[in-house]
Amino acid sequence: MNITFIGSGYVGLVSGTMLAELGHNVTCLDTNAAKIADLKKGILPIYEPGLDQYLASNMANGRLTFSSTYDAQLKESSAVFITVWTPTLESGEADLSFIFDAVDNLIPFINDDCVIVIKSTVPPGTCGKVSDMLKARNLNYAVASNPEFLREGSAIADFISPLRIVVGSSNPNAKKVLEEIYAPQTSKGFLLINTDPATSELIKYASNAFLATKLAFINEIANLCEKIPANIEELTHAMGLDPRIGKEFLKAGPGFGGSCFPKDILALSTIAKNYKTDFQVLDAVINSNKQRPSFMVEKIKNILGTLQDKNIAVLGLTFKANTDDIRSSPAIDIINLLIQEKANILSFDPEGMDNARAILKSVSFANSSAEACVNADGLIILTEWEEFKNMNFKEIYNSMKNPVIIDLRNILKRDVLTNIGFEYHSVG
């Protein structure tokens, strides 16, 4: 099947490449000509483990191509997926102008049976609005919602083994086309759920909001653990054994970030307000997570004392491991607060430093995690990169001025570190 993706950001690139891997002929279109020129050379604008190999192999077999212009090749497409971004407006709502622009731009080129699929995260009712906009122009294209549930850092595995594929459309042709597109997965037993567009759109927000709620909850339980004291790791292990709770997303830490949760929960809260339904739980989650960085810095100050002129080693800049994404990363917020306290920051991240350099002007960057720790008055772990677990801690102990570790991701082994001589603090 011929498919075009409009928007070659994170979602468009991963989904487009992987639909090519499933056997479809995919064109990823983006009006950013420089990005497309790079992609044509096999250069990815993002770091996502495994994506480069799938990109290269599907470009080589001719199933994956790139374009920076809306043109005749769109005529051959049975479906056009819109994967443009939906940034947050000042009102808290998602900005849908990029979606409507994309629809405007593609209409002159597509064939009558082409299905317009909205994959970007959009408020319930957006597919309806797009249909209305088309009908007002006497156009009858089928519009469907097909939200994505890919996690950065494990997007390839998430695509290959989806927990569910959600399709929202009342149009029989749209359902048929999407069922055909995902047939390689449904034939393996992966579940495709058909629903109406608004429910499909809300499934995406509700899923992210529920996960964010779980995280805010466990972070606050961690606060309580610190006061009592009780052990958050043993607590979450025991809680997670109950399948009604589940063991995933119970890792306490410096707060959740990324390009999805903070944006989507704000959008959902605003959607609820627009429908005159205050989403009080979600508002509490938003506030709880907003306060998390300053809460973490208070904790650091309680351990290290005044931070003025102290050398602080910071390991981890990205919002989670296995990505180069620093958008809404709690690490960045925490570093900015440490800078306000007049600390000297030397940081290291395996993938996030190029992005961080652009926004953290007064931070120094080391060439390795070990180098970041030399002469430090304290080491703070902010992202759960695997390589931070396997550092040579004896060497680090000898190189630090004050061997104190504050592990805000709970990834290190207390016993090992205290045996070496470190003072070790974790979350909860």
Q: Does 148 bind ligand UGA (CB under 6 A)?
A: yes
Residue with smaller CB distance to ligand UGA, 252 or 346: 252
- Of the candidate spans 256-264, 287-295, 369-377, 393-401, the one that interacts with ligand UGA by CB under 6 A turns out to be 256-264
Using CB under 6 A as the binding criterion, the count of chain residues that bind ligand UGA stands at 20
Q: Does 249 bind ligand UGA (CB under 6 A)?
A: yes
User: Around 409, how many Cα atoms within 13 Å sit in the side-chain half-sphere?
Assistant: 23
Q: Does 150 bind ligand UGA (CB under 6 A)?
A: yes
- The pair phi, psi for residue 374, each rounded to 5°, is -60, 125
- Of the candidate spans 81-89, 134-142, 143-151, 270-278, the one that interacts with ligand UGA by CB under 6 A turns out to be 143-151
CA angle 263, 209, 161 (to 5 degrees): 100
- Of the candidate spans 178-186, 258-266, 289-297, 366-374, the one that interacts with ligand UGA by CB under 6 A turns out to be 258-266
Residue with smaller CB distance to ligand UGA, 124 or 253: 253
- Of the candidate spans 58-66, 80-88, 100-108, 243-251, the one that interacts with ligand UGA by CB under 6 A turns out to be 243-251
Residue with smaller CB distance to ligand UGA, 90 or 248: 248
Residue with smaller CB distance to ligand UGA, 215 or 314: 215
Q: Does 253 bind ligand UGA (CB under 6 A)?
A: yes
Q: Return the residue of 85, 98, 100, 149 that touches ligand UGA, per CB under 6 A.
A: 149
Q: Return the residue of 7, 16, 258, 352 that touches ligand UGA, per CB under 6 A.
A: 258
Q: Does 319 bind ligand UGA (CB under 6 A)?
A: yes
Q: How far is the CB of 384 from ligand UGA (least distance, A)?
A: 7
Catalytic residue among 114, 127, 225, 260: 260
Q: Does 159 bind ligand UGA (CB under 6 A)?
A: no
Residue with smaller CB distance to ligand UGA, 129 or 151: 151
User: H/E/C letters for each residue in the chain?
Assistant: CEEEEECCCHHHHHHHHHHHHCCCEEEEECCCHHHHHHHHCCCCCCCCCCHHHHHHHHHHCCCEEEECCCCHHHHHCCEEEECCCCCECCCCCECCHHHHHHHHHHCCCCCCCCEEEECCCCCCCHHHHHHHHHHCCCCCCEEEECCCCCCCCCHHHHHHCCCCEEEECCCHHHHHHHHHHCHHHHCCCCCEEEECHHHHHHHHHHHHHHHHHHHHHHHHHHHHHHHCCCCHHHHHHHHHCCCCCCCCCCCCCCCCCCCCHHHHHHHHHHHHHHCCCCCHHHHHHHHHHHHHHHHHHHHHHHHHCCCCCCEEEEECCCCCCCCCCCCCCHHHHHHHHHHHCCCEEEEECCCCHHHHHCCCCCCEECCCHHHHHCCCCEEEECCCCHHHHCCCHHHHHHHCCCCEEEECCCCCCHHHHHHHCCEEEECC
Q: How far is the CB of 8 from ligand UGA (least distance, A)?
A: 15
Q: Does 151 bind ligand UGA (CB under 6 A)?
A: yes
Q: How far is the CB of 149 from ligand UGA (least distance, A)?
A: 4
Cβ atoms within 10 A of the Cβ of 335, count? 27
Q: Return the residue of 175, 292, 320, 425 that touches ligand UGA, per CB under 6 A.
A: 320
Q: Do 366 and 336 contact (CB within 8 A), yes or no?
A: no
Rounded CA-CA distance 171/154 in Å is: 32
Q: Interface mask (CB under 6 A) for ligand UGA, residues 188-227, using x and -?
A: --------------------x--x---x------------
Per the structure block, which two tokens stand in for 340? 């306000």
Residue with smaller CB distance to ligand UGA, 54 or 109: 54
Q: Return the residue of 260, 297, 363, 366 that touches ligand UGA, per CB under 6 A.
A: 260
In the annotation, is 260 catalytic? yes
Q: Does 152 bind ligand UGA (CB under 6 A)?
A: yes
Rounded CA-CA distance 314/305 in Å is: 17
Residue with smaller CB distance to ligand UGA, 143 or 212: 212
Q: Return the residue of 24, 63, 175, 251 that touches ligand UGA, per CB under 6 A.
A: 251
Residue with smaller CB distance to ligand UGA, 180 or 233: 233
Q: Which residues are catalytic?
A: 260
| Residues binding ligand UGA (CB under 6 A) | 121, 148-152, 208, 211, 215, 249-251, 253, 256-258, 260-261, 319-320
